Amino acid sequence: MRALVVHAPKDLRADDWQEAAPGPGQVLVRTAAGGICGSDLHYYHHGGFGAVRLKQPMVLGHEVSGRVAELGPDVAETFPGGLAVGDLVAVNPSRPCGACRYCLEGLANHCLDMRFYGSAMPFPHIQGAFREALLVDAAQCVKADGVTAGEAAMAEPLSVALHAIRRAGPLLGKRVLVTGCGPIGVLTVLAARRAGAAEVVATDIEDRPLEHAAAAGADRTINVAGNVAREADALAAYAAGKGHFDVLCEASGAQPALVAGLGALRPRGVVVQLGLGGDMTLPMTQVTAKELELRGSFRFHEEFPLAVEMIAKGLIQVKPLITHTIAFDDAVKAFELAGDRSQVMKAQIAFN
């Protein structure tokens, strides 16, 4: 089989990769669809991000779905709800050890021995899921009946958004600001609306992502790039009277977005930082004086089955976010295109 391996910046190859038969508790999945994430783009364009750098060739990808090709011993009998050859499954890339102190405390996303697909954080690197066939633990598989392979592959980014909304706390009747309208930001808009937010305002520096946010249910979208003066000033108007919003979901990873969002938060508002863009300098006097709460949101774990269920039930519509589907053989084209925010919301690779 073949896998998409990044060897260095701008050096992405379809390398031969060994295929193995599933052992006890394992499943062989023929990959169907894989979404290109921001971290994948950082590895492809820059060889990493921040202090995380490629030190060896690495298979990219962690947003995947596929069809069960072979079951390991006892899987059919022990998998909840049954699992059969031919089933479409969303593959959870989160593989905590289950034995460290954080796993035992129910904080699996902080596992001390996490094996998250396509990560250069540890060395040797954790190889990713952009392979024509993927050997996984049965526990990673969530059946995705009634949806397309592309929709099933959106379970991973939706899980990120659901985890962020969980970190925000109850949203029923709350006013929410979402800064950054890439796929995670727009999914956060959808998740906040589903959680009962009374008002959702979204900001970005480009119009096309904001169109997706509006279609996802944002009450108002604001281009903060300053192309239109009144739009650039619109977010600042929310700072009157010590602020307007109860919750800020910062999905851009950009310091200017975070700082502007803090100004628009009311006293005792909650900041959920889920965008990763490097370290930031905060106006701590404002945080203190307004008694703001800053909460990080990192990956997900238990939200993954819920994400699949919400997609399957039509509670959150992810299909409109899949703007481009490109064949495996044109993977380099897919990665080049995926970074063009004026055209692309979510680019996926079709494996078969």
Least confident residue range of 206-220, 225-239, 260-274, 303-317: 225-239
Least confident of 165-179, 229-243, 273-287: 229-243
List alpha helices for the chain, DSSP H.
38-46, 75-78, 101-104, 149-153, 155-168, 183-194, 207-215, 229-237, 255-264, 284-289, 303-312, 331-338
In the predicted structure, residue 28 carries a pLDDT above the cut 60: yes
Whether the ω angle into residue 170 lies within 30 degrees of 0, i.e. cis, is no
Confidence of residue 230 (pLDDT cuts 50, 70, 90): low
Bridge partner residues of 26 (DSSP):
137
Task: State CA 220 to chain mean position distance.
Answer: 23
- Report the first-to-last Cα separation within the chain, whole angstroms: 12
At 213, is the pLDDT very low, low, confident or very high (cuts 50, 70, 90)? very high
For the stretch 332-347, what's the b/e string if a residue is b when 16 or more beta carbons lie within 10 angstroms of its beta carbon? bebbbbbeeeeebbbb
CATH 3.90.180.10 in the chain, residues?
2-154+318-350
Mean pLDDT over residues 27-47, rounded? 96
Region 130-144: what's the mean pLDDT?
Answer: 96
pLDDT band at 335 (very low <50, low <70, confident <90, very high): very high
What pLDDT, in 10s, does the model give residues 269-304? Answer: 999 999 987 788 899 999 999 999 999 999 999 999
Does residue 227 register a pLDDT over 60? no
Q: What is the pLDDT of residue 167?
A: 98
CATH code of domain 2-154+318-350:
3.90.180.10
pLDDT at residue 234, rounded to an integer: 87
Pairwise CA distance, residues 78 & 340, whole Å: 44
Structure tokens at 14: 């379809």
Q: Can you give the pLDDT at residue 82? A: 83
Within the chain, all domains assigned CATH 3.40.50.720 are found at 159-296
Rounded distance between C-alpha atoms, residue 283 and residue 277, angstroms: 17
- Across the chain, mean pLDDT equals 94
The pLDDT assigned to 20 comes to 87
Q: What percent of the chain has pLDDT over 70?
A: 98
Give the pLDDT confidence score for residue 243 in this predicted structure: 97
Q: Is the pLDDT of residue 229 over 60?
A: no
Q: How confident is the model at residue 10 (pLDDT cuts 50, 70, 90)?
A: very high
Architecture of the domain delimited by 159-296 = 3-Layer(aba) Sandwich (3.40)
- pLDDT tier for residue 233 given thresholds of 50, 70 and 90: confident
Long-range CB contacts (< 8 A, 24+ apart) of 14-18?
Answer: 14/328, 14/329, 14/331, 15/57, 17/59, 17/131, 17/132
Cα 48 to the center of its chain, rounded Å: 17
The secondary element (H helix, E strand) that includes residue 95 is: none
Stated pTM of the model:
0.94
pLDDT for 29 beyond 90? yes
The yes-or-no verdict on residue 344 having pLDDT over 80 is: yes
pLDDT at 50: 80
Which of the four pLDDT bands, split at 50, 70 and 90, describes residue 306?
A: very high
